[in-house]
Amino acid sequence: MIQARTQTAEYWGAQFSHTDSDIEQLYNHFLEVEKPQTIEQLTKALFVHRVNEELKSIRKLVKGRLVYQPQNEYQVGDKLVFPVLDFSQGTVVDVREGFNPEEGKFKVITVDIKDKTRDFASSYSAVHALNYENGQELFDLIDLDPESLFLQYGAGVADKLYTVLCDHVDFIELSSLWFVKSLMVDINVGHLHLSEAILEMSDGGPMIADDLLAVLDMDPGIDIGVQRFSLNYALLADERFDDVAGEGRVEWFLRRLEPEGVLKTPARLRYQPVDYDRAFLSSQLLMLERELDDEWSEFDSYKVSQPAILSLTYPHRWAGTIPLSSRLRPLFSIGTAPRQRVLFLDESAEKEIVGWVVPEGRYIYGFKDWYDENNIPVGGFLQLAPGPEPGVILIDYDRRRPQREWVRLATVSDNRIQFELKRRSIGCGYDDLLIVGSDVVAAIDAVWRRAEANQRSLASILAEIFPALAPLTPQNTVHAKTLYSAVNMLRRMPPGPIFGELIGNPAFQTVGDHYWLYDRSRWQESK
């Protein structure tokens, strides 16, 4: 069987590496198409180039030589090429008679190939795979179809090509498209100033590049894809503009008109990591941590059934945000943009809410008014699900007829936080172990600020909160979830460090089912 090197899995697999010729060909490809390309399009161009290069090489090897076929007759001195031997070349040095009882008479030629002699049949009239039928040309026997090769091996080559292009400064990638910097349109200062003015008149945005280009008066003879790519690249390099779209899209917003809570993480959401040994956490506590799904917990995102349901915590209720936790991350096509503008739809109230996903801060901003309008409490159940189109998320809460419930309320006495049970009208389903509120938010904020200023340890905060919560139950016990909720009124803290402190500090004793007792006489400050 005649097979070119580019037909083999080994060629496109571990053996494959790019060459200077490949890079030059990609430049030429961009010069030819004159528009941005996907990595798949560039990979296909690379396959075409490699196949054509091999065809040129084969033609060079066979030029001036006879392609060996057993049916042909050869003479001493004939120069042959053997496609099945990787197109090895040789010279006939001897011809003699041959005979096979089953095949009859034929001739045997001795060929010198790289200073070694090998024998081959000639004048062989029997059917043989190397005898081309009906005058079929050699190149018709070699199936060099770049498209079929791409379908088989393109994914792996595309990954390698992507890495190579990232290392070349003249190749630029934006929103899954590649282009050559030297072929981009010049976007000057005037274009950028005008783009800023257009966005300002549109309340900051968002706007796509095409909307801006309609006003920038660019050369209509230049491909719109090149104009779009060039403008997006220039805006991305200018700190006045933010790309606020999800992965695979580009939408521009004027950074100075973005909400303050988007540009700067709200104080109550800032987490300063605490060292603790997760090895001490039992499997039950790890399961509880997974249930709470705090955005700063140490586990990966995972797929969950829709809608995704979470319980609102005090810091997020205070800041008007939603945690970007492992349970919610799969709902968003988070790209490289530091801020992403997303539309949330409350279908029950026929209300649209503009939200801002901030991946670095692990939160979604923009729900303060919605929380207040619907009286959603700390511990209230929220529901999020994919919307009818990309960039839209459905949001709702566990709506119920309002009724008076006994809930924990935080107060302040002698600059220390206290808790009491009071009846409040609640019109939302909630986690009874997490719900905690306050009628004196300003006073709670003052205690929080003092705790921040004094850099209070987690142990000292637990030592203050636990005795304040314990009298609310007949057994003077407090559930780990309740401690987590209450601690976060004074310090942003995921469950892990809190559980670690409960395990490691002798003042806290487990009584089962995640309930704990506190023995002040055994308390010790963590180092």
For residue range 117-170, list pLDDT tens digits in order. 999 989 887 777 777 654 445 555 455 678 888 888 999 999 999 999 999 989
Residue 359, CA distances (Å) to 116, 266, 300 in order: 67, 14, 14
- 217 confidence band (pLDDT: 50, 70, 90): confident
Could you tell me which residue, 397 or 523, shows the higher pLDDT? Answer: 397
pLDDT at 105 over 90: no
Q: 386, 333 in Cβ contact below 8 A?
A: no
Closest by alpha carbon to 59, among 70, 51, 69? 51
Report the pLDDT averaged over residues 203-222: 93
Q: 435, 379 in Cβ contact below 8 A?
A: yes
Domain ranges of the chain: 5-61+144-174, 70-131, 184-257
Q: Which two tokens stand for residue 327?
A: 């349970």
Q: Give, in degrees to the nearest 5, the angle at Cα 320 between 205 and 309.
A: 105
For residue range 436-449, list pLDDT tens digits in order. 989 999 999 999 99
Fold of 70-131: SH3 type barrels. (2.30.30)
Q: Which CATH number fits domain 184-257: 3.30.420, 3.40.50, 1.10.10, 1.10.890?
A: 1.10.10
DSSP line for 352-382: EEEEEEETTTTEEE--HHHHHHHTPPTTBEE
Q: Which two tokens stand for residue 261?
A: 């809570």
Residue 71, CA distances (Å) to 79, 120, 342, 504 in order: 16, 11, 72, 87
Report the pLDDT averaged over residues 404-412: 94
- Sign of the torsion formed by the C-alpha atoms of 381, 386, 391 and 394: negative
Give the amino acid at 176: S
**What pTM was computed for the model?**
0.79
pLDDT at 158: 94
Report the pLDDT averaged over residues 499-511: 94
Could you tell me which residue, 336 or 169, shows the higher pLDDT? Answer: 169
